[in-house]
A and B are shown apart, each in its own frame.
Chain A
């Protein structure tokens, strides 16, 4: 519940819209229940020669209800869209804050996608959960007051059944969703892993004739998912049945006592009870959704407000040094206390304007070095100095303005080429953009596109080949004003020829920047001032 409350608190700014929507929704609901009640009353009253007011009420309530429902839909949807936008911006900022502290750096795209799914699970919170619950809360006192004239026993009986149907059963469904939802999520994740194995490993599958066993493995996990979902659906079905029977029991109770009641009152009460229970018939499902939303909210809040692992931002950051020489001084680092040291007393000097390479097999900590230089991670002991100043004392934003990085995780956004490039330097002119594209050997290709700089880059850079995507990312890195550029396996996924071209390009375009090339091997075309090999937690100088 704490997490849900946290999400609701985010919407405080939207309270006027949300409350307005809720008020209109409640009035619309009340008018609907009144309409049903009055329509029954009209008949009874006519028979008994009653008042003339009822038909008049009918003529007012009917159009009022139609209009109110329309306005309700507009206002509540408007409010929902506003609230959704707030939730997303808040989550983005929260996650960006953690990412700046190094967390997003290590999160896989899949985990992030799952979190986004959790944010989406909260979309129905207002329309499908809160509003129906507010309606039920409003109907209970109305029901009690209206039935009071029929006697306390009957009122309490019907009231209890209403509470069961509108509150107890939904709460039980919510609990069901909380417990079983976890099992469903786990089974779903297992099925996804099996499918990823089958599809990503399709070459192995074909080469080893594994089609049958892969299909069987996905089917087995699917069966596990279905059995978890089956239990959930069984619970929801029971909740629906019990809620329905509560309504029926309330009606039966009323019908049992009908003989003792005055005619008009009996008819009016009956129509009211039918309408009230009908109005809350969707609540068991809403309760179930609420249970899921609560679990999702828990994960979303945890991700957005997780304490940052890396060093905190200094309270009064030091001034940026004029120079950009980078120095690692006796750095010891490991990602987790139970993992081995990645650096165990690493000392490394990279003078300003030098072009250096760091070599080493995977797992030797090459990428960790970049993370330390960008303060995405903080060393357990030792220091990292930029221009002679400990980077722990610098503002992270300013540090990252000076030290840029291009790695395999560098993302191309679903946006235009221009927008993707401007990300690195919003002030860059078109001339600068073309210069960067030319330098990355993409200028010719982009000039050939009908919409040139305004060409849309598809999802995750699709529509461009892997090599073109890497070169677009390089063009972006070259546009950035950073004076130190870390290129972490910039050629991963490129074929040998493209790799050579890319590295040759780099020799020409880097200018006076410091270039730190992190690779598992050299091709021979790189022009370097220094080469180190990382192994066993140290850097060993190798031939330049």
Chain B
């Protein structure tokens, strides 16, 4: 087992802790079911005893009644175990998903620099769903695999010590045999699971890129390649399974051995006039009950491997932070915000050098600063520090003199409005997409923001106006329209500090002019920091605005105008 797998196993054990009481309940139910089965076997043995001409201590109707009651007990334990299994799985998934998503949201946008959003969503959704069987099936099964057979063997030992020893001996063959065939059950499950995994990964990749394959005229080649890969995988996997299936065979062998040995032993004893057929049949009927928990255990081995794979991905996510003390900052938002950077350093990736290397500037309240420079110069890093996405690696950033790092994220987000290159539109109505900037806003305030962002003309043409659903399943918005939604959000939020990160980079020139016009109106009375390539910056800072401009290159200030 690799170190990664061990880490994942440790992680899973830790996460299983809160489920332990439910698991104990399922194990208790399982044991009760085994006990009921033992009782039923006893009843059957006694009734048959009578049929075979042996007088029983018990009357047949009594035995039948007990049998029927125990049948109901077994049904009830089975039903309750199923319910408990669902409950355990669901509560574990709920707990883990909240933790994972909470950690992810707390870690913030910096996480997207290392991992794709698709991968993160798959972790939070699919990986956690895949953990269900681990909590619901594997955890109780792995405990019952020992306790269930132990209970049966104990009862048989009391009734027939030699028979009990035979059963216990056969039971011990199972782990020994599994160890001899290289932990076969584990290996078989792992091999089959990873073989299927690889096949599925290749298949999914080819299906995702099917358009590229078609346009390059390579359908036949790829179909052949797919078949060939599957065939190679089958041959390789079957070679391993040939050995690995031996462990399941050990289980079959132990079962057959126990059954035959016991049957022949009892037959010999009975024909010699020793013992009674009732207890012989009782013991024989218990052989399947003895092995049933072991079979369930063996069958749920796959669940463990699926869970380990999922745990690896989940363990790599950032931990959810401890809830922050409700410590609000001094109210810095009184009359506008002054921003100051003092010798700020920031390094995303040590291999690529610093993103910001000793950047200093000041922007008085209500003024506009344009950050100019080529991509990679550090413009976005300045904005991301001010948004609190990443703490500065060195130096000091202050808002009205208060150190940025002393602000809790909530307080900081209340002070700032932000518009990036491509705004995220959530899969809900346009109204809700705008209202998220200030959830308590009235409809009238939202309508004002829509008008201020010049979104009203477009909205009027929509089938359901502001209540039109947008996003993948709904109405598509063009880049310019989406940017107007972002501007409406900023109008609604009415925050004193406005951060604009290349807001027009993906717009065509005509739309860019219109959007810049709206942004200029939004900027009135606020402190604005605009990161942009120079042409747009020029357009923005003209028109009566104070021209404060900072030219960045490779993380350093090249020229500064009006911002020292």
Contacts and interface: CB of A to CB of B under 8 A. Distances in A.
A495 B387 contact: no
- Identify the 10 closest CB pairs spanning chains A and B, nearest first: A411-B209, A85-B230, A495-B375, A201-B424, A237-B82, A46-B267, A209-B413, A81-B234, A248-B71, A62-B256
Given A244-B75, A248-B74, A259 B50 contact: yes
A258 interface: yes
Contacts of B78: 237, 240-241, 244
A382 to B, nearest CB: 23
- Which one of B43, B63, B375, B476 has the greatest number of beta carbons of chain A within 10 Å? B375
B51 A74 contact: no
Nearest to A257: B51
A202 B103 CA distance: 12
B28 interface: no
Interface stretch (B12-20, B116-124, B144-152, B542-550): B116-124
Contacts of A115: 207
A462 B281 contact: no
B381 interface: no
Contacts of A211: 102, 105-106
Nearest to B108: A206
B233 to A, nearest CB: 7
B436 A210 contact: yes
A195 interface: yes
The range of chain A's interface size is: 35 or more
A81 B233 contact: yes
Given A58-B263, A88-B203, A208-B436, A69 B252 contact: yes
Contacts of B249: 66, 69-70
Contacts of A194: 427
Q: Identify whether the interface residues of A are mostly helix, strand, loop, or mixed.
A: helix
A224 B111 CA distance: 28
B64 A255 contact: yes
- Which one of A226, A229, A255 has the greatest number of beta carbons of chain B within 10 Å? A255
Given A81-B230, A255-B67, A423-B216, A63 B203 contact: no
A241 B82 CA distance: 10
Interface in B234-289: 234, 237-238, 241-242, 245-246, 248-249, 252-253, 256-257, 259-260, 262-264, 266-268, 270-271, 277, 280-281, 284-285, 288
Interface in A330-380: 359-363, 374
A77 interface: yes
Interface of A: 35-36, 39-40, 42-49, 54-55, 58-59, 62-63, 65-66, 69-70, 73-74, 77-78, 81-82, 84-86, 88-89, 91-93, 95-97, 99-100, 104-105, 108-110, 112-113, 115-116, 119-120, 123, 188, 191-211, 213-215, 218-219, 222, 226, 229-230, 233-234, 236-238, 240-241, 244-245, 248-249, 251-252, 255-256, 258-259, 261, 263, 266-267, 270, 274, 278, 359-363, 374, 397, 400-401, 404-405, 409-414, 423-424, 426, 459-460, 462, 480, 495-498, 520-521
Nearest to B63: A255
Contact of B82 (A109, A198, A233, A256): A233
B513 interface: no
Contacts of A35: 256, 259
Interface string B400-433: 0000000001100110111010011011000000
Contact of A112 (B208, B242, B259): B208
A69 B248 contact: yes
Contacts of B48: 44, 258, 263, 266-267, 270
B427 A193 contact: yes
Given A44-B277, A207-B413, A92 B207 contact: yes
B260 A39 contact: yes
A43 B267 contact: yes
B86 A230 contact: yes
25 contacts: A43-B280, A46-B267, A55-B263, A58-B264, A62-B256, A63-B256, A66-B256, A73-B241, A84-B199, A84-B230, A193-B473, A199-B120, A200-B117, A202-B108, A203-B424, A206-B108, A207-B416, A233-B86, A237-B79, A258-B60, A266-B51, A270-B44, A274-B288, A423-B212, A520-B507
B207 A200 contact: no
B210 A104 contact: yes
Given A123-B196, A361-B511, 7 more contacts: A43-B280, A44-B277, A82-B234, A93-B223, A112-B210, A234-B83, A267-B52
A194 B108 CA distance: 17
B335 interface: no
Contacts of B413: 206-209
A267 B47 CA distance: 10
A104 B214 CA distance: 9
A54 B266 CA distance: 13
A65 B253 CA distance: 9
Contacts of A480: 216
Contacts of B558: none
Interface of B: 43-44, 47-48, 50-53, 60, 63-64, 67-68, 71, 74-75, 78-79, 82-83, 85-86, 90, 93-94, 97-98, 101-102, 104-106, 108-109, 111-112, 116-118, 120-121, 124-125, 129, 192, 195-196, 199-219, 221-223, 226-227, 230-231, 233-234, 237-238, 241-242, 245-246, 248-249, 252-253, 256-257, 259-260, 262-264, 266-268, 270-271, 277, 280-281, 284-285, 288, 374-376, 387-389, 409-410, 413-414, 416-418, 420, 423-424, 426-427, 436-437, 439, 471-473, 476, 478-480, 489, 493, 505-511, 533
- Which one of A66, A97, A191 has the greatest number of beta carbons of chain B within 10 Å? A66
A532 B221 CA distance: 38
B478 A81 contact: no
Contacts of A78: 234, 238
A209 B409 contact: yes
Contacts of B53: 263
B213 A203 contact: no
Contact of A209 (B118, B213, B410): B410
Nearest to B218: A423
A86 B224 CA distance: 11
B106 to A, nearest CB: 7
A460 B97 CA distance: 25
A82 B233 CA distance: 10
